[in-house]
Structure 1
Amino acid sequence: MAESATADVYLIDLTLPDGSGLSLVRSLRERGESGIIILSGRGEETDNVVGLELGADDYVTKPFRPRELAARVNAVMRRYRSSPSSPVVSKPESMPEIETDYRFGDYTVSTSARLVWNADGAEIPLTTAEFELLCALIERRGRVVNRDQLMNAIKGRDWDAYDRAVDGLVSRLRKKLPVAPGRAHYIRTVHGVGYSFSG
């Protein structure tokens, strides 16, 4: 079904009768920029974080209240409605109703619209977690931020900071926001501590 149809948001249960939920998350993210929310049991937090690393936008722990799930789905849908899966040319200056908050290198960020543009005005499609991580780093520009602080800023939850989840998000951001050859990236690794943003 996933190969023949496109959904705005996918709800993926990690426990599937015929395969791996994480493999399905990876496959869906490779094919497009639809929203992805993971559903899982309380004992699967490591898998949840791996899911975020693979490109999921959020996860909901079972049992959950229907209103909570609806709120999470609406939040992800708002993000993807304002960020088309295919980059389009629409420069910030040609859209005065969208307020821009940050500029670094060739990129412009609007936190209210949750959008990022490159120098040509093309939108850079970021997942919710990628966008929140970028903003968390920009807001702490010039300071070293450890992984605990970043995970707190991204999700605002009291959960363990798995190094590979943050590292995976940073790796994807660097690929989506490239810099000129020979230039150091805006997101700098501070070994043994975390990351720092400059730009």
Structure 2
Amino acid sequence: MSGHSGIRDLGHFNAENSRTRSQLGRIGCLGGMFGLGTDHAEARNWAAQYQDALQVIRHRSPQCLHKEIGFGAVALGTDVNSLVQSPKPLLDGADQLDRQLNVYTAVVSNPRGTFRRFPESPSATGAKVWDLRRDGVAHYGMYADFIKAVWSFPFDQNRGMRISGQELVENHLDRNADNFWRMWVKVEQQKGNVRY
């Protein structure tokens, strides 16, 4: 598992924990995963960066013809602290249509019945209401609101979406836990081969 930043050649990701495209390809070849950070991210830009990282980590090359982990190889990096900010409010985003998105009224279809997958209203602490549109991800519980915003984006190559947000969430992010477990099983099987 490697993260929590971005692809190093994207200009603004030049930290030591950013990965180059060749490093991401090698991680994918080894059956590893990459945690894409959310530092002051706009939901749509994060979704586009996710798709870029996924394309790199899943790419087959002559050096690596078989990659075991495909779907879900890129995870959500949620490390926030005094140096790393949480995702920013939708209203602060560069995309005009994204600023108009109300994640709390967006309808989410669910093939499993009445299970509610995402928040349908902003969270509250006493009289304080936390709204993704105005406050961004103000606490860890609001990452569900952020993911719902990503889920809401339609397929639109002109706006950075090579797949729909629904496909990104349901066919990739939803597989992260299973892929992490499979990766860990591989690590446990190989730990005796590590030389100290």
TM-score w.r.t. the length of structure 2 is 0.30
Q: Select the structure that is richer in strand.
A: 1
TM-score w.r.t. the length of structure 1 is 0.30
State the structure with bigger RCO (CA 8 A, min sep 6), 1 or 2: 2
